[in-house]
Structure 1
């Protein structure tokens, strides 16, 4: 499953899989417990494929950060839990993305990234490479 079908909903814990759209919003299914929720368009919703992390030079897509974590951990869950102290989280993230912008990426952001990676890993969603749609679009342009 691609990250463009995975959502973070403001005020709700964990991540959600986009099931279907409705007139007033959409229906999502929790990756934590499988419960379905109806979300209106007024909620603060982020699609993981559209999130990027600030570095000193550019913004790095979240999927690239997840891929770096996967490479560092050799495909396993993170060696650091999301409830660790701020200093330990920052040290771990510095190993993953050494040039991240420490002024704009907060410890709470790092906690979310680690927690999200572990949730996706538990669900067997570990392919963070480009989606097939992007590859098809590139081949059609040539």
Structure 2
């Protein structure tokens, strides 16, 4: 799952895909309606690939969390982000048992599930095939 060009723009609903960088900012396309917008460098923008979730052992990248949700749901939709707080917390605990409940707020869980379902609806969540380097390819052994 590649979140390298997926953005969250503060003050704008939904997620965006980075299309083109300009001299004064960049152009992004909304995943909700497909409209392109111009975003200045002064805007508060977060790349999903740079976001992490607090756990008791440290931080986990959002891509790993998305992968855990996808595995749990067999690459289907997750529960709605509009569920009540207790249901969302219980669901997130199933996905990531060691998340730091004091630093990960219900609003964060809602946002992650909303983002996951948006990416799922747009077909951006796909199972990645494991890479097998040529060095590790199976070798035939000859008996003498």
* TM-score of the alignment, normalized to the shorter chain, above 0.5: yes
Change (3 A) 1:60 1:94: same
- Tell me the distance in 1 between the aligned counterparts of 2:95 and 2:27: 33
2:93 maps to 1:94: yes
| Contact 1:53/1:61 (8 A) holds in 2 | yes
TM-score by length of 2: 0.86
Q: How far has the Cα of 1:49 moved from its partner? A: 0.4
Long gaps (5+) in structure 1: 137-142
RMSD: 2.0
- Tell me the distance in 2 between the aligned counterparts of 1:96 and 1:12: 27
| Contact 1:2/1:128 (8 A) holds in 2 | no
| Contact 2:75/2:126 (8 A) holds in 1 | no
- Tell me the distance in 2 between the aligned counterparts of 1:67 and 1:128: 9
Q: How far has the Cα of 1:127 moved from its partner? A: 3.3
Q: How far has the Cα of 1:2 moved from its partner? A: 2.4
Long gaps (5+) in structure 2: 134-144
Q: Per-residue CA shift, 1:5-36, capped at 9, x if unaligned?
A: 00000000100000001111100000010001
Change (3 A) 1:62 1:129: farther
Query: 4+ runs of 1 displaced by more than 3 Å?
Result: 127-130
1:1-142 to 2 correspondences below 5 Å: 2-78=2-78, 80-127=79-126
The alignment partner of 1:19 has SS state of strand
Change (3 A) 1:4 1:128: farther
| Contact 1:66/1:128 (8 A) holds in 2 | no
Counting matched residue pairs gives 132
| Contact 2:6/2:16 (8 A) holds in 1 | yes
